Amino acid sequence: MSALADTNRRNILQTLKKGRISSGNLAEKLGMTPQALSYHLNKLKKSDLIYESKYKNFIYYELNLTVLDEVVLWLDRLKGDAENEN
């Protein structure tokens, strides 16, 4: 949850929703320095919310939809439990 608490990381995930993108293009789209982007990408990778792949001299990132699906299901169950208590 802490990985999703930051606006910059949520913006990264929104951008990755459109598909795989290189780190350079991602930094450009978000108006972030490579150092700042790297910090946020590491947080997202440690949370398993994104994948990293390398091709030649480029690093590409994409969403890990499996983990996101699990989070959505968990939140839905949590919401359902709260509604049943009322």
For residue 13, with 0-12 CB atoms within 10 Å meaning exposed, 13-18 middle and 19 or more buried, which class applies? middle
pTM for the predicted model, two decimal places: 0.81
> Do 61 and 15 meet the contact criterion of CB atoms below 8 Å apart?
no
Strand partners, 3: none
In the chain, % of residues over pLDDT 70: 93
Please report, for the chain, the start and end positions of each structural domain, with discontinuous segments joined by +: 2-85
In this predicted structure, what is the pLDDT of residue 86? 55
What is the average pLDDT value for the chain, to the nearest integer? 90
Q: Is the pLDDT of residue 84 over 70?
A: no
Q: Which CATH code of 1.10.3660.10, 3.40.190.80, 1.10.10.10, 1.10.390.10 fits the domain covering 2-85?
A: 1.10.10.10
Task: Assess whether pLDDT exceeds 90 at residue 10.
Answer: yes
Tell me the residue type at 63: L
